[in-house]
A and B are shown apart, each in its own frame.
Chain A
Amino acid sequence: QVQLQESGPGLVKPSQTLSLTCTVSSGSIRSGNYYWSWIRQPAGKGLEWIGHIYTSGSTNYNSSLKSRVTISVDTSKNQFSLKLSSVTAADTAMYYCARTVVGQTRYTWFDPWGQGTLVTVSS
């Protein structure tokens, strides 16, 4: 059963770049028909999709964050990463990585999810 685990600094200063890594275990990041996604959730609020990457390197980002987001993949390490630049307090949230399963007729869904990592933006 594939598992995902986020890692990275829990505190980032305003205007700096948030950097997180998701490590995929018990399965190859290259196997199957999957995308690899980042999703965030501010405390007490709803979920926001940040973007995803395919193992070919092709990406798709939420337009609300597109100018600040970069998602990359390192297949040799079975990892994918998120960079969010010029952060403000509004970027404080729980950040989740998730596998996007691509089913028949282009149905997709997020499963499984990592446990999440809390990132606080504060000086």
Chain B
Amino acid sequence: DIQMTQSPSSLSASVGDRVIITCRASQSISSYLNWYQQKPGKAPKLLIYAASSLQSGVPSRFSGSGSGTDFTLTISSLQREDFATYHCQQSYTTPRTFGQGTKVEIK
């Protein structure tokens, strides 16, 4: 199975900050990488697919980049509604696997 490792596991940031979350795959997955946002008690919501494609309706302050084994999710200016847990997921092969999540908290 492909292991997905996110860093950091959690971070504290202020409104307006630039936030970068990284995701590393245990083997090359080309651009088969998705990002989801999950708020407490809610289901995950798709933000980015195919490493860098913004899902319709998602604010443009979210962006994704990377290929191969190293990927990043960037929030250019953190808003209050962005405080949540973020998950990466590879779709290169089955079983589909997720990172352990990165919790973004208010500083």
Interface centre among A47, A48, A63, A112 (most CB of B within 10 A): A47
**Complex Cα–Cα for A60 and B96 (A):** 10
**B56's closest neighbor in chain A, by CB?**
A111
Contact status B87-A110, CB under 8 Å: no
Interface residues in A98-123 by Cβ distance below 8 A to B read 101, 103, 107-116
Q: Which of B13-21, B39-47, B69-77 contacts A (4 or more CB under 8 A)?
A: B39-47
Whether the pair A113, B95 counts as a contact (CB closer than 8 A) is no
Are A46 and B100 within 8 A (Cβ)?
yes
Q: How far is the CB of A47 from chain B (nearest CB, A)?
A: 4
Residue pair A110, B50 in contact (C-beta under 8 Å): no
Query: SS class of chain B's interface: helix, strand, loop or mixed?
Result: loop
Complex CA gap A95/B101 in Å reads: 17
Selected contact of B43 from candidates A48, A63, A64, A113, CB within 8 Å: A113
Chain A residues lying within 8 Å of B12, measured Cβ to Cβ, are none
Q: Do A46 and B101 form a contact, CB below 8 Å, given A107-B91, A110-B46, A113-B44?
A: yes
Q: Which residues of B are at the interface with A, using a C-beta cutoff of 8 A?
A: 1, 31-32, 34, 36, 42-46, 49-50, 55, 87, 89, 91, 94-101
A-B contact pairs, 13 of them (CB 8 A): A46-B98, A46-B101, A49-B94, A49-B95, A49-B96, A96-B43, A96-B44, A103-B50, A107-B50, A108-B91, A110-B34, A111-B46, A111-B55
The residues of A with any CB-CB pair to B shorter than 8 Å are 45-49, 60, 62-64, 96, 101, 103, 107-116
Q: Which 4 A-B pairs have the closest CB atoms?
A: A113-B43, A49-B96, A109-B49, A111-B46
